[in-house]
Structure 1
Amino acid sequence: MKILVVSVHPDDETLGCGGTILKHNRLGDELYWLILTRCDESLGFKKDFIKKRKLQIQKVSKEYGFKKVYELDFLTTKLHNVDFSKLIDKISNVINEIKPEIIYMNNRSDIHTDHQVAAKSIMSCTKSFRYPFIKKILMYECISETEIAPSLPENIFIPNVFSDITDFIDKKIEIMSMYESEVQNPPLPRSLENIKALARYRGASCGVNYAEAFMLIRERF
C-alpha cells in the first residue's frame, strides 16, 4: 500500500502521525513524504539553522523509512502569498506521481495560516473523480497548532479514527527530539512530556495505552 504523508513544515509529520508512520513501516507499506515549505535567510533564519534543518529532514526520513521525500520549497509562513493555482499544481504533480492510497494531512483549522492554506489546497488536489486511486484521507492534529485555534464550532478537531501507537510511542518521542529547535520545555505544549501525554489521552479514548487521533475526511472501500 502506498502512503503519502504531507507536512506543511518538517516536524508536523512526527507531531501528528509519527507513531502511525512507524506502524505503516512495520507493515511493509510504501511511504512517501511531501514537505511544502522551507526556511530561508530572507526570513531571518541563519545559515547554520538551515543546514541543520536539511540534515534533520534526512535523519528523520531515514528513521521512518520513507522511499522518497518531496520538497516543494515554498517559503515558510508565506503560503498565503503563493498563487493558489501554483500550490495546487505542485501538490497535484506529486500525488499523480505517487498515486497514494492513503493520505495523511494537516488539520484544516489549525491556528497556523500555512496549515489552513495547505489543507485547502490538498483538498482541491484529492477530488475523487480526478484521483480515484485515493482510498482514504485523514487529517492529523499538531499540538501547539490544533488546540490553540479559537474555540469556534468550525475550528473544532473532532477525532473519529484512532491509531494504536503503543509499540511506537518511544520511537516517536526519540524522532521528535531530533527537531531540537522545535521542542519546548514544560509546560509549553510542544514539550516531549506533553506530546506523550496527548498520546496517552488519545489512547484512553480508544482503550489502548497510546494513540494518535485523526479526522476521517473521506474513505472508499
Structure 2
Amino acid sequence: MKVLVVSVHPDDETLGCGGTLLKHRKQGDQLFWMIITKPDESTGFCKEFIKERKNQIKAVSNIYGFEAVHELEFNTTKLHAIDFSTLMKSISQVINEVKPEIIYMNNRSDIHTDHQVAAKALISCTKSFRYPFIKKILMYECISETEIAPSFPENIFIPNVFSDITDFIEQKIEIMKLYRSEIQETPLPRSIENIRALARYRGASCGVDYAEAFMLVRERF
C-alpha cells in the first residue's frame, strides 16, 4: 500500500496523523511525504531557523521511514499569492509520480490561509476520473489550526474515521518534540499536554485509549 501524507508546513503530518503513519509503517506500507511550503528569509525567517528546519525534516523523515520526501518549496504564508494553476501543477506532478492509494491531507477549513489554499488545490488534484489509483482521501486535524476556525457550519471539523494510535502515542509525541519551535507551554494548544489530551479525547470517541480523527473526503472499494 502506498500512502502519501501532505504537510502544508512541516509538523502538520505529526500533529494530524503521526500515530497513523507509524502504524502504516509497522504494517509494511510504503510512506511518502509532500511538503508544500518552506521558510524563507524574505518572509522573516532567520538563517538559523531555516537550517534547523531542514535538519528537522531529515530527522523526522528518517523516523517515519519515508520512501521519498517531495518539497515543493513555496514560501510559507504566501500560498494565497501564488498562481493557483502553478500550485496545482506541482501537486499533480507528485501525485502522478507516487501514485498513492491513500492520501492524508490538511483540513480544508483550518484557520491558516495556507491550509485552506492547499486543501482546495489537493481536492482539485485528486479527481477520481484522472487519478483512479487513489482509493481513499482523509483530512486530518491540526491542533491550533482546526479547532480555532470560526464555528460556522461550513468550517466545523466533523470526524467520521478514527485510527487507534494507542501503541504509537508516545513515539508521536517524541517526534513532535523535534519541532522545538512549534511546542508551546500549557495551556496553549500545541503543548505536549494538549496534544496528548486531544488524542485521549478522540480515543474516547471510538473506545480506545488514544486515537487520531479524520474526515473522509472520498473512498473507493
Q: For 2:164 and 2:59, locate their aligned partners in 1 and report how far apart those are by CA, in whole Å.
A: 24
Tell me which stretches of 4 or more aligned residues in structure 1 moved more than 6 Å: none
Q: For 2:8 and 2:44, locate their aligned partners in 1 and report how far apart those are by CA, in whole Å.
A: 19
Q: For 1:136 and 1:51, locate their aligned partners in 2 and report how far apart those are by CA, in whole Å.
A: 35
Q: For 1:21 and 1:127, locate their aligned partners in 2 and report how far apart those are by CA, in whole Å.
A: 24
Does 2:83 match 1:83? yes
Match of residue 30 from structure 2:
30
Q: Secondary structure at the match of 1:6?
A: strand
Matches within 5 A, 1:55-204: 55-204=55-204
Q: Secondary structure at the match of 1:114?
A: helix
Look up the equivalent residue of 2:83 and give its one-letter code.
D
Q: Secondary structure at the match of 2:154?
A: helix
- CA drift at 1:97: 0.4
- CA drift at 1:44: 1.2
Q: For 2:64 and 2:210, locate their aligned partners in 1 and report how far apart those are by CA, in whole Å.
A: 19
Q: Secondary structure at the match of 2:45?
A: coil
Structure 2 unmatched runs, 5+:
none
Q: For 1:44 and 1:198, locate their aligned partners in 2 and report how far apart those are by CA, in whole Å.
A: 31
Aligned length, in residue pairs = 221
- CA drift at 1:86: 0.3
- Identical aligned residues as a percent: 78
- C-alpha offsets along residues 123-161 of structure 1, whole Å, 9 cap, x if unaligned? 000000000000000000000000000010000000000
- CA drift at 1:63: 0.6
Q: For 1:43 and 1:138, locate their aligned partners in 2 and report how far apart those are by CA, in whole Å.
A: 30
Look up the equivalent residue of 1:112 and give its one-letter code.
H
TM-score, with structure 1 as normaliser: 1.00
- CA drift at 1:43: 1.0
Q: Secondary structure at the match of 1:55?
A: helix
Does 2:212 match 1:218? no
TM-score, with structure 2 as normaliser: 1.00
